[in-house]
Structure 1
Amino acid sequence: MSTRSLSRAPWRRLARWQKAMLAVVVLFAVLCTGLVTIGLGARHRYEGRVQREDILGRGVPPRDEQRWDRGPLNLLLLGSDSRDGEPDEGRYPGQRSDAIMLVHVNAARDVATVVSIPRDSYVDVPARPGSWAGGPNKINAALAFGGAALAAETVHRLTGVPIDGVLVANFAAVRTIVDVVGGITVCLPHEVVSTDTGTRWPVGCHQLTGPAADDLVRQRHNVPGGDLGRIHDQQLVVRAIAEKITADGLLTNPARLDRLLTTATESLTVDRDLDLTELALAVRRIRPETLRFVTVPVADTNLSTPAGSAVRLDEARADALFGAVREDTVEQWLAANPPTVAD
Structure 2
Amino acid sequence: MVVGTPSRVVPPTSRWRSMAGWKKAGIALLVLLAVLCAGLVAAGFGLKHRYESRVQRQDILGPGTGPRDERRWESGPLNLLLLGSDSRDGEPDQGRYPGQRSDTIMLVHVNAARDGATVVSIPRDSYVDVPAAGEAWAGGPNKINAAFAFGGPALAAETVAKLTGLPLDGVLVANFAAVRKLVDAVEGVTVCLPYTVTSSDTGVTWPVGCHNLDGKAADDLMRQRHGVPGGDFGRIHDQQLVVRAIAERVTATSLLTSPTRLDRVLTTAAESLIVDRDLNLTDLALALRRVKPESVQFVTVPFSDPNLQTPAGSAVRLDEARAPALFAALREDRVAQWLAANPQTPPAN
Normalised by the size of structure 1, how large is the TM-score? Answer: 0.92
Alignment map for 1:233-248 (pairs within 5 Å): 233-248=238-253
Alignment map for 1:244-255 (pairs within 5 Å): 244-255=249-260
Report what 1:96 is aligned to: 101
- CA RMSD, Structure 1 to Structure 2 (Å): 1.6
Q: Is the 8 A contact 1:299 1:314 kept in 2?
A: yes
Report what 1:183 is aligned to: 188
Alpha-carbon distance in 2 for matches of 1:102, 1:66: 21
Work out which of the residue numbers 100, 117, 127 in structure 2 matches 1:122: 127
Query: Partner amino acid for 1:71?
Result: G
The alpha-carbon deviation at position 37 of structure 1 amounts to 2.5
Alignment map for 1:272-283 (pairs within 5 Å): 272-283=277-288
The alpha-carbon deviation at position 63 of structure 1 amounts to 3.0
Report what 2:222 is aligned to: 217
Q: Is the 8 A contact 1:189 1:204 kept in 2?
A: yes
Alpha-carbon distance in 2 for matches of 1:282, 1:121: 31
Q: Is the 8 A contact 1:34 1:174 kept in 2?
A: no
Work out which of the residue numbers 143, 146, 149 in structure 1 matches 2:148: 143
Q: Is the 8 A contact 1:34 1:173 kept in 2?
A: no
Work out which of the residue numbers 108, 113, 135 in structure 1 matches 2:113: 108
1:38 aligns with 2:65: no
Report what 1:68 is aligned to: 73
Report what 1:156 is aligned to: 161
The alpha-carbon deviation at position 83 of structure 1 amounts to 3.5
Query: Partner amino acid for 1:280?
Result: A
Query: Partner amino acid for 1:156?
Result: A
Alpha-carbon distance in 1 for matches of 2:56, 2:29: 17
Unaligned ranges ≥5, structure 2: 1-18
Query: Partner amino acid for 2:190?
Result: T
Identical columns (%): 74
Work out which of the residue numbers 318, 335, 340 in structure 1 matches 2:323: 318
Query: Partner amino acid for 1:27?
Result: L
Structure 1, residues 240-271: CA drift from partner, whole Å, max 9, x if none?
00101111110110011001000101100000
Alpha-carbon distance in 2 for matches of 1:129, 1:327: 33
1:165 aligns with 2:170: yes
Count residues in correspondence.
Answer: 327
Q: Is the 8 A contact 1:15 1:251 kept in 2?
A: no
Query: Partner amino acid for 1:176?
Result: K
1:226 aligns with 2:226: no
1:206 aligns with 2:214: no
Distance 1:87 1:109, change over 3 A: same
The alpha-carbon deviation at position 186 of structure 1 amounts to 0.3
Query: Partner amino acid for 1:247?
Result: A
Report what 1:286 is aligned to: 291
Query: Partner amino acid for 1:146?
Result: G
Q: Is the 8 A contact 1:195 1:219 kept in 2?
A: yes
Work out which of the residue numbers 81, 84, 87 in structure 2 matches 1:82: 87
Query: Partner amino acid for 1:35?
Result: A
